[in-house]
Chain A
Amino acid sequence: MVHEAVSPSPRFLEPKDLSLLQQVLGHHANDSTKLLQILREVQEHLGFIPNAAVSFIAEALDIPRNRIESVASFYSFLHLRSQGTYRVLFSDNITDRMLGSQTLMERMCQQLWLQPGKVSEDGLLSIGTTSCTGMCDQGPAMLVNERAITKLTHQRIQEIGQLIRNRTPLNDWPADFFYVEDNIHRAGLILGNTMAYGEALQAGLTLGGAAIVDVVKRSGLRGRGGAGYPTGLKWEACRNAKGNQHYVVCNADEGEPGTFKDRVLLTRQADLVFEGMTLCALAVGAKQGFLYLRGEYRYLLDHLKGVLQRRRESNLLGVDILGQSGFDFDIEIHLGAGAYICGEESALIESLEGERGVPRNRPPFPVTQGYLQQPTALDNVETFCQAALAIHMGADKYSAIGTSKSTGSKLISVSGDCPRPGIYEYPFGVSVQEILNDCGAVNTRAVQISGPSGICIGEHEFGRKLGFEDLPTAGAFMVFDDSRDMFEVARNFVHFFAHESCGFCTPCRVGTSMLKQTMDKIAAGQGTHYDLAEVENLDHVLQTTSHCGLGRTACNPVLHTLKHFRPAYESRLKSLSFKPAFDLDGALARARQMTGRDDAGAHLKENE
């Protein structure tokens, strides 16, 4: 998490900033549950959230300043101090690193005379890293002022440096910088569907709400976000839950490193996503829906708004949808601001309400007490697509696809060491080896299934099949060939979890940092067998005492790589039973310099 000292900003609000603030606040009707959206929009215009703006917003929303500061400091992409006119963030997923992102970042820092994480003295720019931006199939990637740039090369970096130096507005940068490819290599049920807009919805309207729930239940559809909860049961529970309002929320906070299928679905199949949400609304009796879009996908906002507008004009959204009297439903898009934890459903709802994205205690689950404590059906982007298809096809036809416990198809985001990274859609039950063959991977050493919180498997397990019976997955499929050091892979993931821990519970806040320190100690060649045992102890604490799934899965990358690639760790260990965590004699260097001493007493041996 980002913790910035809040210093009084020298910047007072100019008349044009003031009118902008009033405009943003007016647009959100001074509603404090829209705080995150308000802050994000203010920052989009001003580059950061100046102190004076904090006061102004606090007064307008009638909330204390510290609530605004607390929310702003929670999200990586919100800043209470200027981070420069151009904020450059390199995506730091392992797949970006494998494509050379670290060298590119060093080069850019050199070119612009800058240290990573610091704002240049003229206030022009800052360069840093951010968690996976979901461009793993076309990395290395970066965000400049939250806009995605793909396929970085030395030349592109140089050009970007030049554009920044010339203060060229982002809108005037070459359009191909921002071009995001879909890279669909294998289409199936979803990506190959030829339904007309509204076709599934029409089928749903003929069925009616109760029958929709029944079809989804019988189809065997399970949530595609990773946990695999039966969608029909969720919709039924939400439908039966009592409340003043019911809500439908689509989780498009695709933050798991290595996953980018939702990005492609929202680009290519936005109508299907919204159709699934509308069908869900019909089933649970909701009038309002939200799409929670991760901040990294800000560039999709205009496109998605356009699709929503078209659907309203075609009476697929709005009042009396498709002529069905009383069937009113509309969808609003909320943007995230760089917090992995908001992919957890209850944290997402907190964020949707304009709060810090801290997971709630569960139960109660969102189906009974979700958004504004009302019954909420919250599903993954892909789940809504699958649901729309299942309703259109009928339960029997749909459940014939895939395996008995994992029906339908699954979109797989393939990245890493293979010639054809991108999106592959398979019926459930496909083997890892089959996917490796299709993407052209050779000499594969390991595959990380479902991202850092998932499972790392070695060569002897490539016969295993994707599905809830064997290898459950949210879609990430990162390939590592035999040139890769699996220790460094795990270390990258451990750093990711330490950065993304929301800080709410001690086991996770402290545990993920201790894990990071232990991995760094081993990387520095100071590790011992004792440290490996320590990792296992930490895992026990994290798994048994963390508040949510983030802490519980944070040890997975280390445990799995330790299981399959133990020598990658052992080769780094010192053979001694214990080593200090830091260079003892080096720690005295400053004092030696200050006292001018160099006698025997002014030195420490590494070991006695």
Chain B
Amino acid sequence: MTEKKKLRIATTSLAGCFGCHMSILDIDERLFPLLELVEFDRSPLTDIKHCGPCDIGLVEGGICNAENVHVLREFRKNCKVLIAIGACAINGGLPAQRNHLDLSSCLTEVYLTEPGLVHGHIPNDPELPLPLDKVHPLHEVVKIDYFIPGCPPSADAIWKFLTDLIAGKTPELGHGLIKYD
């Protein structure tokens, strides 16, 4: 009997707060059986910087700058199944609250006119990614295959979703795992 090949999973947080990753960790001791089935590629858990070919990609957070776009595209290119996890990835979430403000006035206020700033200037180092004028959900930039709603989704929801997916079932978060408050 040949050993079943482990699935490769990559995870990242873009314009998010890592809350969804904390929720992934909340799987707790179930991480051990999970590791029987999967191995992690690029992820804050592994500190691998770029992702290689993977089966599943989990992306937390929305898209607020150019770097987010590059990372998201890297995931899309490498992951057979790409999942948006959490409110920010699905709707833009908290960071998208800046969407009703003009980006210029945002930058001006933060770096130039805020009291206490002396000789402030808007950072323009090429190392820094430029912010987009609005924060967008992931599915507006690449095709997303699945969505796990929640802020954050509970560990049980993430566990159910991943185990369904690994078992080859269309993931269904039934009553109790989706919350509307």
| Residues of chain A having any CB pair with chain B under 8 Å | 530, 577-578, 580-582, 584, 587-597, 599, 601-602, 604, 608
Given A594-B104, A608-B73, A588-B132 contact (CB < 8 Å): yes
Given A588-B66, A591-B103, A594-B122, A582-B130 contact (CB < 8 Å): no
A56 and B141 alpha carbons, distance in the complex (Å):
51
Q: Is B131 an interface residue (CB 8 A)?
A: yes
- Is there an interface contact between B143 and A604, defined as CB atoms closer than 8 Å? no
Q: Is B98 an interface residue (CB 8 A)?
A: no
- Is there an interface contact between B126 and A591, defined as CB atoms closer than 8 Å? no
A506 nearest in chain B by CB position: B180
Within 8 A of A (CB), among B90-117: 102-104, 107-108
- Is there an interface contact between A601 and B136, defined as CB atoms closer than 8 Å? no
A597 and B125 alpha carbons, distance in the complex (Å):
8
- Is there an interface contact between B130 and A588, defined as CB atoms closer than 8 Å? yes
Q: Is B123 an interface residue (CB 8 A)?
A: yes
Given A582-B140, A591-B103, A594-B104, A604-B66 contact (CB < 8 Å): yes
The one of A578, A580, A587, A601 in contact with B126, judged by C-beta atoms closer than 8 angstroms, is A601
CB distance from B171 to the nearest CB of A (A): 16
**A599 contacts across to B, CB distance below 8 A:** 126
B129 nearest in chain A by CB position: A601
CB distance from A42 to the nearest CB of B (A): 32
A589 nearest in chain B by CB position: B133
- Is there an interface contact between A578 and B132, defined as CB atoms closer than 8 Å? no
- Is there an interface contact between B129 and A578, defined as CB atoms closer than 8 Å? no
**A582 contacts across to B, CB distance below 8 A:** 134, 136, 140
A578 and B143 alpha carbons, distance in the complex (Å):
6
The one of B69, B104, B140 in contact with A593, judged by C-beta atoms closer than 8 angstroms, is B104
The one of A581, A589, A604 in contact with B69, judged by C-beta atoms closer than 8 angstroms, is A604
Within 8 A of A (CB), among B134-165: 134, 136, 139-143
B74 nearest in chain A by CB position: A608
A594 and B142 alpha carbons, distance in the complex (Å):
27
A594 and B141 alpha carbons, distance in the complex (Å):
24
A530 nearest in chain B by CB position: B143
**B50 contacts across to A, CB distance below 8 A:** none
A597 and B72 alpha carbons, distance in the complex (Å):
23
Q: Is B77 an interface residue (CB 8 A)?
A: yes
Q: Is B170 an interface residue (CB 8 A)?
A: no
A528 nearest in chain B by CB position: B143
A542 and B146 alpha carbons, distance in the complex (Å):
19
**B69 contacts across to A, CB distance below 8 A:** 584, 604
Q: Which of B130, B132, B140 has the most CB of A within 10 A?
A: B130
Q: Is B124 an interface residue (CB 8 A)?
A: yes
A593 and B133 alpha carbons, distance in the complex (Å):
11
A601 and B66 alpha carbons, distance in the complex (Å):
8
- Is there an interface contact between A587 and B134, defined as CB atoms closer than 8 Å? yes
**B107 contacts across to A, CB distance below 8 A:** 591, 594
